[in-house]
Amino acid sequence: MLLIVVCGALLAAGAAIAAAWSGEPLVEPAPPRRDAERPRRAALAHYARWAAILTLAGVATGVLVLGAGGRLAMRLLAATSPDAVGRFTEGQARVGDITLEGTLAYATFGALPIALVSAALYLLAAPWLLRGRLAGPAFGLVLLVVGSPFVDPLRADNLDFDLLGPGWLSVAVFALLALLHGTALAAIAGRASRALASSAASGRRGTVLALGAAAVLLPLGVVLALGALVVAALPRALPALLAARRSRRGVLIGRVLLGAATIAAAPAFIGAVVSIATR
């Protein structure tokens, strides 16, 4: 019971943050000067700020929304499916058992990786999205349509939906969670980017602390370290890529790609929703 209360408090905190900071624009770290005396050092400092924003936004939403919210969604569906209690899910979890070990495993191997990948995609696609408060929900909707039928949580061949339900409730809960995830991700990324944009000591300390947290999460630390090696080898590549994506042509191409991906995935999404909702 205590674990459910903690998850509820975390999800409420995530929703409150999403509401309070909704509409925060993403403040992109200033690119390194072309005439910098140490171009590699300047490029790595620029990369570090982006990595810090990604870490803060990904870890926060992974814990507050996908982690806590996903666990509560599982508990709700177990409560509405009494005949499934005691049986095992596709992931070999016992329905009805909400343990600390299971929650930590779900957060570490399920929620956090998805949240971090989502954060990276958001930072890439931010210039292509709607402006203001609609940016986060729009991104959450894109993730829902493009990703959920193939990766989860709305994969039609997921055997868990044969155990848990009703199907319409499963669809509604996970759709709302995806929209909240997108909203919170945009809000936290915007707030974090503004806090880290300063070149003052506070901004540098925040960047260092965020990267320290990333180092604790070993897979993320390894990925960011590999990225740093690429940036050191090609110091002008990241600023050029980021500038290209927010140019007029880049925004047009990005929006076309987002629209095409959403349209292409729509039949699979609709099929998955119908399949799950009618079980």
Segment 58-87 shows an average pLDDT of: 87
Mean pLDDT of all residues in the chain? Answer: 86
Q: Rounded to whole angstroms, how far apart are CA atoms 188 and 83? A: 40
Mean pLDDT of 60-82: 90
Nearest to 111 by CA among 179, 58, 36, 190: 58
pLDDT at 155 (0 to 100) = 84
User: 264 versus 200: which is more confidently predicted?
Assistant: 264
Q: Where are the domains of the chain?
A: 2-20+61-197+236-277
Mean local confidence (pLDDT), 85-97 = 69
Question: Structure pTM?
Answer: 0.89
Lowest mean pLDDT among 197-206, 237-246, 249-258: 197-206
Q: What is the DSSP annotation of 22-46?
A: TTPPP-PPPPPPTT-SSHHHHHHHH
- Token digits for 89? 């899910």
> Is the pLDDT confidence value at 91 over 70?
no
Residue 141: band (very low, low, confident or very high) from pLDDT cuts 50, 70, 90: very high
Sequence-ordered list of residues with C-beta below 8 angstroms from that of 220, at least 6 positions apart, any chain: 55, 58, 116, 214
pLDDT > 70 fraction of the chain, expressed in percent and rounded: 89
C-alpha–C-alpha distance, residues 85 and 94, integer Å: 7
